[in-house]
Structures are given as C-alpha cells and as structure tokens.
Amino acid sequence: MIITIDGPAGSGKSTAARKLAARLGVAYLDTGAMYRAIALATIEDGVSLADEPAMLAVAERCAIEVDCGPTHTRVTLDGRDVSEAIRTMAVNQATSFVARTVAIRKLLVEKQREIGQSLGSLVTEGRDQGSVVFPDAELKFFLDASIEKRAERRYQEMLADGEEASHDVILKNLEHRDGNDRCQWAPLLEPESAIHIDTTQMTIHEVVERLAEEVGRRSSIES
Ligand code: DC
C-alpha cells in the first residue's frame, strides 16, 4: 500500500510519517531530504542559485540515496553521509531555489516513483506526493496546523536539541516557506481525495493514532 502525507513545513508530517511507517513495518520516504541533498551539492559546487541549467546538471550527476528507518533518516550524496549537513539554514534557503526548478522536480518525481515501485509499500512524505508523484496512492493524508502552533513546535524541538532558538525568527522563516509553497510554482497541493487533518490541537501520538485508524479502515475495506 502506498500512503502519502503532504502538508506545510512544521505540520508534524515528518514525525507522523516516520512513526506510522514504523508501526506498519513499511519504509518511510522523506522526499524533502532529496531536494535538500541537491541544494547542498549546488552550494558545494559553487553553482549560482539563479542558474537553473547548472543546478540541473548538478542534480543529474549526483547520486543521492535516502535510507529512512523508523528512528533515523540517512542521506548520502555521492556515497558521503550528509544527513546532518542538509539541515542547516543555508541549505534550507538554497532548497527553495532547487525546488522551484521544474526540470529538477521532474527528475526527483521519477526517482520517487521508481522507489515506490521497487518497494511496493511505503509511507512517503512531502508536498506533492498525493497530487503529482503518486496520484493513485491507496491512502492520502494532508496535515495542517496554524502557523503559531507550527512555530511553537519547532521552537520546542530546537530547545530540546539544545540549539539556540528565537520564536520570532522561526515564525518569519515559516512565513517565508509558506510563501514558497503557495507561490506560482506551488509544490504544495492538497488532493481532493486526501484526508485533511488539522493537527493544531493534537499531540503527535493522537495524529499517529488517527492515521493508523484510517489505514485500518482502508485495509478492512480492501480485504
Ligand atoms: O519538508 P522539508 O522542509 O524537508 O522540505 C525541504 C524543501 O523542499 C522545502 O522548500 C519544500 C521542498 N519540497 C518540495 O518542494 N517537494 C517535496 N516533495 C518535498 C519538499
């Protein structure tokens, strides 16, 4: 079964997708990590973020492997572990340029479909998984939450990780990322057939329970 989870930054979809996949015993695919790995390669190669053909050339030549286990996401770029390196602020910013390059999106959509085909069953998470990449997925979710709540969650996560954090900076960053998601090349699309869950008032445990409940319901219909 292919299960897609889309939603804006900070909606809780990564944690929910990972936990749901672990519970179901299937693979989890973090598609944002793929865009991030290309952004890192672009920065390292000194390629201008305004030069789309050069960014595409980087994307075409680099080998990205994503291993998303229930407790980790390991991403390698040309054989090198870049799991931590793709989470910096510089990579965040560069990723929005990579993600708006149509030819790079096409390349990654193909790669994600290949992964889906070879695995058969997976929980995949991103912005366009239910709409573009796996339009025939058996189950589609769209997670959302108020921007204040998303900023608060990110703030608490950073504090828990011992990182320096400013609630205002996080909020501004989320506003910027929401703008990217909803602009002209808008990758964030909510399929009509998706189950919409507003997680503002929910704990992560409640979100995973809700997702698992829907999976159970769907499985019983199909069997
Ligand atoms: O989910 P994330 O923060 O790791 O995503 C990183 C960036 O990649 C963000 O700018 C949105 C973009 N992205 C996308 O355009 N399509 C996807 N399927 C996944 C992520």
Q: What residue segments make up the domains of the chain, in order of their start?
A: 2-204
Q: How far apart are CA 15 and CA 21, in angstroms?
A: 10
Residue 124 CB partners (closer than 8 Å, separation 6+) = 2, 3, 4, 5, 17, 28, 29, 31, 112, 116, 133, 134
d(CA 80, CA 121): 27
Alpha carbon distance 125, 140 (integer Å): 10
Distance 99 CA to ligand 1 centre (A): 7
State residue 39 phi and psi, 5-degree precision.
-60, -40
User: Looking at the domain covering 2-204, what would its CATH class be?
Assistant: alpha beta
pLDDT per residue over 47-72, tens digit each? 999 999 999 999 999 999 999 887 88
Tell me if 125 CB under 6 Å of ligand 1: no
Q: What is the average pLDDT score of the chain?
A: 92
Q: Tell how far the Cα of 9 is from the centroid of ligand 1, in angstroms.
A: 8
Terminal Cα-to-Cα distance of the chain (whole angstroms): 12
Maximum pairwise Cα distance, the chain = 53
* Per-residue pLDDT at 123: 97
Whole-structure pTM value: 0.93
Question: What is the C-alpha to C-alpha distance for residues 54 and 57, in angstroms, rounded to an integer?
Answer: 5
Whether the per-residue pLDDT at 185 is higher than 70: the answer is no
Q: 92-106, 115-129, 179-193 — which is least confidently predicted?
A: 179-193
Q: Is a pLDDT exceeding 80 seen at residue 223?
A: no
> Residue 115, CB half-sphere, CA atoms under 13 Å: how many?
25
Query: What percent of the chain shows pLDDT beyond 90?
Result: 75
**What count of other Cβ atoms lies within 10 Å of the Cβ of residue 165?**
15
pLDDT of residue 184: 64
Provide the residue count of the chain.
223
Q: How far is the CA of 1 from the centre of ligand 1 (A)?
A: 23
Please identify, by atom number, the ligand 1 atom nearest to the C-alpha of residue 128. Answer: 18
Q: What sign for the dihedral angle of Cα 113, 96, 193, 138?
A: positive
- Out of 11, 95, 177, mutate this one to test ligand 1's pocket (max ligand atoms within 8 Å of CB): namely 95
Mutate to test the pocket of ligand 1, among 18, 127, 174 (most ligand atoms within 8 A of CB): 127
